[in-house]
Chain A
Amino acid sequence: MIITELKDINEIYEQIKPYSKILIAGCDGCCQPPRSLNEAKVLGQLLELKARTEGKKLIWKAITVLRQCDDRIAATTCRPFAEEYEAILSLACGLGVVMMNKVIDNILTFPAQNSHFGGVQNSSENFYIEYCEACGDCIIGETGGVCPRAGCAKHLSNGPCGGMVDGMCEVGGYTKPCAWVDIWKRLKKFNRLDLFKKYRGPRDFRLSTSPGYKDIYKEYTNEEEKKEEKV
C-alpha cells in the first residue's frame, strides 16, 4: 500500500483558490489511510467553509475512483462529467494525481495529499512502516528477509554503523530499531551468520534511476524478436 498523509488544509485551499467549481476525487486503491468518498466529502465541506470565511462561494462535488493510477478506470469514471468543473482535487497518492492529469488533460488536477512510501500496516502497534523501496535489485534473500535499503537510514549494504545504540538507530532519536541488528538477529536465529559476514559490493543505481520504466508486454510476447529478425 502507498502510505499518504493529508496536506495542511491551508495548503490545499491555496492550490484551488483560483477556482470556484471543483471536483474532489477520492481513491479506493491502495493509499492508506483510506481516502474514499466520505473523505472527499468531508474535505469538500472544509474547503467550502474556508472559502466562506473569505467571502467566496465554492461549488464542489465528491466522487471516488476505483484506482486513479489506472488510466482506463480513471478515464471512464471521470471523463463523463469532469469538464463541468474548473479543477480537480485528488485524494490519491502521487501516482493517481499524475495519471488524472494525463487522462483528463484539459483540467488541472491538484494533490490533496503527500505520498510517503510504499509500506505495510502494523495494526497492533499502530504504525505504517516502509519495508521495500523498490530498488530494482532485491537482496533480502541475503539479509534474513529484512531490507537494509528501506530499513536503514543510511541504506547500508554492510552495516550496522556506529550510530546504532542498544539496537536502535541514531536517526529518529533511538526510537526505531536498527535494521542491521534485526538482520543479525534473523540470520543468527537460522544459523546463517555466513550471510551476515558476506561482503556486498556497491549498489547499481541504474536499476532504480528515475523515471522508472518497464515495458508491460515485454516479457510475455516475442514481438521484439520478430522486429530484430526484420532488421
Chain B
Amino acid sequence: MAKRPAYSNLCKKIQEGKFVITGELEPKKILDLSEILHGAEEMKKTGKIVAANVTDGPQGDAYMSSLVPSYLVQEKVGLEAVWQVTVRDRNRVALFGDVTAGAVLGLKNILVLTGDHTALGDHNRARAVYDIDSTQFCEMLSIMIDQGTDYEGNEIVGGKIEMNYGCVANPNSNPREPEVLKVGRKVEQGVDFIQTQTAFDVDDAKDFLKELEQFNVPVLLGIFPLKSHGIAWYFDNYIPGVSVPKDLLKALKKAEKDNKGDKKGKYAALDKINIEFFEPFIKEIKKSTKAAGIHCMAVEYERLFGPLLKDF
C-alpha cells in the first residue's frame, strides 16, 4: 500500500482508526442541484457521515458531470465529497484536465471506476472511450499526486495535487478469484481505500472482506438501503450481479400495500424494515471484520441515516 499522506478527512478518519460511514449522491439529468445539496445537508446533520460519493453517470446514462456537484457539496454544505470518475467517457488527456481542475476546486477524494458501458445507458449509440482502464487511471493518479507530473512525466506547475484515491471491488463477483486478483493489481497502483459494490449477504460479505485483507488497504463495504419496493425490484433485476433477498423484497411490498394512502405510515414501515435488516448487518461487519467502514448508498433516502446510524 502506498504510504501517501492522508489529504482528505475520509483518509484521516480511517487512519485514526475510526469506523467511517460514507453516503452517496446522484446528480441526474438536472440543472437544479437543490435536492443534491439538501441530501448532503441531511447527511451532514447526522454527524455520522464523513464524506459523500458523487456519482458519474451510473448505468451509462447521460447525467450531469460529477465535478461541479462534488465541489458545491463541499463549498456550500461543508461535507467532503468522494468524487467518482469513470474512464468510460474521457481519454487520458481529458482525465488529466478534470483531475487538475478538481484539485483546484479543493476536491480531496477520487473514486476510480471503469464505468457501466454506454451500451447500457440512454445514449446507447455513443462511442465508449476506455482509453485507459481503471487500474491504469490509478497509476496515472499516483504519478500526478506523488511525482507531480502528468502521465508522460511532464511537470505540473504551480502546486501540488493533494488528493487521495480509491478503487472499487465487487463482493458479488462470480467467479471471485479474478476479481480479487484484479483488486490486487489496483492496490499495487497505490490506492488509499476501497469502496465495494453493495452486499446483502453478511456471511458472503465477510468472506470477501477476509480475502481483501491480504492487500492491507482500508475497505468500506457497500450497503444499499431500499427506499421502496420499486427500487428494490429494479436493483434486484437490473444491477449487475446484485440480488436482493426475497424476504426483504416481500416485506417491502407488504409494507407498501398495508399503508396504501398513508404516506407517513408507509415511510415508517419501510424505514423499520431497513433498520431491522441493516443495523445488525453493520454491527456484525464492524464487530467481526477488519472493514474500515460502510459505504451507505442511500441515494435520495437521507432520512434513514439518523435512525440507522445512531449507534455507530
Contacts and interface: CB of A to CB of B under 8 A. Distances in A.
B177 A162 contact: no
Q: How large is the interface on B (under 10, 10 to 19, 20 to 34, 35 or more residues)?
A: 35 or more
B197 interface: yes
B116 A199 contact: no
Contacts of A201: 136, 139
Contacts of B135: 157-158, 199
A94 interface: no
A184 B116 contact: no
Contacts of B186: 158
Interface of A is mostly: loop
B184 interface: yes
B66 interface: no
A156 B189 contact: no
A153 interface: yes
A142 to B, nearest CB: 13
Given A156-B130, A162-B168, A181 B175 contact: yes
Contacts of B90: none
Interface in B88-105: 88, 92
Contacts, number: 99
Interface residues of A, number: 31
A165 B178 contact: no
A163 B178 contact: no
B182 A158 contact: yes
Nearest to B137: A202
B131 interface: yes
A196 B181 contact: yes
Which of B128, B168, B181, B184: most chain A CB closer than 10 A?
Answer: B181
A55 to B, nearest CB: 37
Interface in A176-208: 180-181, 184, 188, 193, 196-199, 201-203, 205
Interface string A158-173: 1111111111001110
Across the A-B interface, give the 3 residue pairs with the lowest CB-CB distance, nearest first. A158-B135, A184-B178, A161-B114
A56 interface: no
B174 A180 contact: no
Interface in B152-197: 168, 170, 172-175, 177-179, 181-182, 184-186, 188-189, 197
Given A161-B134, A197-B185, A202-B136, A170 B117 contact: yes
Given A160-B179, A199-B189, A202-B151, A165 B117 contact: no
B132 interface: yes
B93 to A, nearest CB: 11
Contacts of B113: 162
Given A164-B240, A202-B139, 6 more contacts: A153-B128, A159-B178, A162-B240, A165-B172, A180-B182, A202-B140
20 contacts: A153-B128, A157-B135, A158-B185, A160-B178, A160-B179, A162-B241, A163-B114, A163-B240, A167-B174, A180-B178, A181-B175, A181-B178, A188-B177, A197-B181, A199-B189, A201-B136, A202-B136, A202-B139, A202-B151, A203-B131
B1 interface: no
B177 A184 contact: yes
A165 B240 contact: yes
Contacts of B41: none
A208 to B, nearest CB: 12
A159 B136 contact: no
A156 B188 CA distance: 17
B197 A162 contact: yes
B136 A157 contact: yes
B133 interface: yes
B184 A197 contact: yes
| Residue from A159, A167, A180, A205 whose CB has the most chain B CB atoms within 10 Å | A159
Contacts of A196: 178, 181
A72 interface: no
B36 to A, nearest CB: 24
B119 interface: yes
B231 interface: no
A78 to B, nearest CB: 35
Given A170-B117, A184-B175, A201-B139, A159 B182 contact: yes
A155 interface: yes
Contact of A167 (B88, B130, B175, B188): B175
